[in-house]
Chain A
Amino acid sequence: MLKKYEKAFLLSLYRMMIRIRYCEESFVDPILQGIIKCPVHLYSGEEAIATGVSANLEDKDKVFGNHRSHGHFLAKGGQMEALVAEVFCKEMGCARGRGGSMHLIDPTKGFLGAAPIVSGTISLTMGAALGSKIKKDDSVAVSYFGDGAAGEGVLYESLNFASIHKLPMLFVCENNFYATHMPLRETRSSDSIYESASSLGVKASRHDGNDVLEVYETAKEAIDYCRSGNGPVFLEYETYRLRGHVGPDDNIQGDHTDIRPPSEVAEWCQKDPILSFTNRLIESGIVTKNELSQINKDVDAEVVAAHEFTECSLNTNIQELKSYVFKQKSA
């Protein structure tokens, strides 16, 4: 199965997932030590989705994220240094320390922003897709949101609107089965989210979000469909976060794993997307363990460098508290 892909491509997927994982895990200690204070929603365990989707995107394509968007930012080409510095709320962060972990941006890479009002960026993404349609610039807009967003009405308004206007928009629902502490089964009578999209005329399907190649293939088909002017696509990817909703622990601001059953967590640990992809790569004989180890070492060094960059970065300056409320009008 893997033979049809270029080795360099497979390694690029692996490298991106490792970059996201290592970067995410590098925040754990500073969070526990209280050095990082802003709320951090780690993407560990969900790396295959951002990696597989973004492998199909170009710089001109637009992406909007949510509160758990470190992975989306990196996969779309955002700089790790700028991400780490932002999580530490430093001046050299991608949002100059004004946003923190939940507000990442890099317009030069088409990562147009992230915001934690759950479904709030879905309609913004739809606007980017609408702009693309008006300008006929052949770009696609991707919205990442979680299963929690399925509880908010603007998702359905957006599905309907995107559908009637055949907008080049990809709805990516990362279903990790929990909206903070609430399991999906308690918040939704149906266990399917994608069927709601189908009912509004949007092409929709559900897939394994922990299989990076399945994500890549399904997103490729969807993005080609969008880019060709056929209208929006909704992809529900089932996945699981290996860390808590916010912070490292599986809870809300506590110190125990008390929300998700330990057996369920253990089961999903076996389905870790990086673990399974690593095994497939090795078993296929295309890649050696040493090659992967080298990537791991390189990424390790990149993460260390990003933290060193952050340590050297200036803190924000109180003299500039009032900057950036408005953009000044150019003459």
Chain B
Amino acid sequence: MSSNKRVLNYALATNEALIQLMESDDSVFLIGQGLKSPWYVGQTCTGLLEKFGEDRVIDTPVSENAVTGAAVGASIAGMKAIVVHPRVDFMLYAMDPVINQAANWCYMNGGHCSVPVVIWGIINRGGEQGAQHSQSLHAMFAHIPGLKVVMPATPYDAKGLMVAAVKDPNPVVFIDDRWLYGIEDHVPEELYEVEIGKAVVRNSGNDLTIVASSYVANEAYHAAKELKSEGVSVEVVDLRSIKPLDTACILESVAKTGKLLIVDGGWRSFGVSAEIAALVAENSLQDLKAPIRRLTLPDIPAPASRYLEEGYYIHRTTIKSAIVEFLGG
């Protein structure tokens, strides 16, 4: 197929998913702040308004709570809403419809009604934006029963996970990172799904397992590639979904390498890295040749100053150093 060679950037891969989903299903609609403005949502919503009209592409007042509730309620009533929050930080105003309502709805109604809503939060950090424009809150959502949480790291997964999230009959929190929007990769033209709850081994290796997701998974992949020429063999597991977690994939890799470095773009305490560490400790302690290590954001709010940001965020150089230290130490 000719589509095999086609390359798209991450934002346009999401954009294509949205277009194809809305073309193929009249009940899919998009709602949220900034849909008309690339400043908010990058290229992800390019052309949608022109193609589908204001009824199905709804830019909104700054009313996160009501707008998210509307997306949840519409999905209870038979629609499939995608509600976008251009910065995850602002989603905190929408915790009632996400956590109290959407996450609990199926269970507390005895399975008589599920909520096929997608809650799309964009991590938009760096650039001296400071504490309230930079947060990565995926672990908070993953803590909640009834929510699924996906974090695509590649253009292929951005499209495939958005499609899977919309087709899932349950609430899915889709979290992406503006730092990924420009990366390019092969993206098939047809509508396809990446299965929620399945991780992928991005790079095969024997010396060490890295488990990561989203931006830091991509950085870990490049770190592993760069270290290959130095004779270091690193396996990179990209979670794709934070919840449900692909435990089999993680444990299998740890069984092979015996060393685990967890990299997460969220804070250290009580987060994804702690969960994965607990999972491995509970199931595979005998496979570990060394104590688990974690590379995460420190338990500190995001700073504004670029000099502080440099030490705060995780990039491939940070990951490379952590690998070298782990294997050399």
By a beta-carbon cutoff of 8 Å, the part of chain A in contact with chain B is 62, 64, 93-99, 103, 105-107, 112-113, 115, 117, 120-128, 130-135, 141, 153-154, 157-158, 160-161, 164-165, 323-330
Contacts and interface: CB of A to CB of B under 8 A. Distances in A.
Contacts of A323: 111
B60 A98 contact: no
B71 A154 contact: no
Contacts of A64: 73
B14 to A, nearest CB: 21
Contact of B109 (A62, A113, A154, A157): A113
Given A107-B113, A127-B74, A130-B74, A120 B96 contact: yes
A99 B109 contact: yes
Nearest to A327: B114
A128 B170 contact: no
Nearest to A143: B73
26 contacts: A62-B77, A98-B109, A98-B110, A105-B109, A112-B113, A117-B101, A122-B66, A123-B67, A123-B73, A123-B97, A124-B73, A127-B75, A127-B79, A128-B73, A141-B77, A157-B63, A158-B69, A160-B63, A161-B61, A164-B61, A323-B111, A325-B146, A326-B169, A326-B170, A329-B167, A329-B169
B106 A123 contact: no
Nearest to A114: B109
Contacts of B269: none
A52 to B, nearest CB: 23
Nearest to A165: B58
Nearest to A153: B65
A226 to B, nearest CB: 15
Which of B63, B68, B75 has the largest count of A CB atoms less than 10 A from its CB? B63
A271 to B, nearest CB: 34
Given A326-B106, A326-B146, A94 B112 contact: yes
Given A128-B73, A330-B169, 9 more contacts: A122-B66, A123-B70, A126-B70, A127-B69, A131-B27, A135-B26, A325-B146, A327-B111, A327-B170
B181 interface: no
B145 interface: yes
A17 B11 CA distance: 56
B78 interface: yes
B77 A325 contact: no
A329 B244 CA distance: 14
A122 B112 CA distance: 20
A293 to B, nearest CB: 37
Contacts of B60: 161
A134 B79 contact: yes
B73 A134 contact: no
B68 A123 contact: yes
Given A117-B96, A124-B72, A325 B106 contact: yes
B267 to A, nearest CB: 26
Contacts of A326: 106, 114, 146, 148, 169-170
Nearest to A110: B77
A120 B73 contact: no
Contacts of A157: 61, 63, 65-67
B55 A133 contact: yes
B178 interface: no
A154 B65 contact: yes
Nearest to B65: A154
Contact of B96 (A97, A98, A130, A154): A154
B100 A115 contact: yes
Interface of B: 26-27, 29, 31, 55-56, 58, 60-61, 63, 65-79, 81, 96-97, 100-101, 105-114, 145-146, 148, 167-170
A112 B107 contact: no
Contacts of A122: 66, 69
B74 A128 contact: yes
Contact of B81 (A127, A135, A158, A325): A127
Contacts of A123: 65-70, 72-73, 97
Contacts of A97: 110
Given A134-B55, A134-B56, A128 B77 contact: yes
A125 B73 CA distance: 6
A323 B107 CA distance: 8
Contacts of B73: 64, 112, 121, 123-128, 130-131, 141
A161 B75 CA distance: 17
Contacts of B77: 62, 112, 127-128, 131-132, 141
A154 B72 CA distance: 14
A105 B146 contact: no
Question: What are the 4 tightest A-B residue pairs by CB atom distance, in nearest-first order?
Answer: A123-B69, A127-B73, A96-B110, A124-B73
A128 B97 contact: no
Nearest to B169: A327
A96 B114 CA distance: 14
B110 A95 contact: yes
B61 A117 contact: no
Contacts of A99: 108-110
Given A127-B76, A127-B77, A131-B79, A161 B110 contact: no
Contacts of B108: 95, 98-99, 103, 115
Contact of B63 (A121, A161, A324): A161
Contacts of A325: 106-107, 145-146
Contacts of A329: 167-169
Contacts of A62: 77
A168 B137 CA distance: 35
A115 B111 CA distance: 15
B329 to A, nearest CB: 42
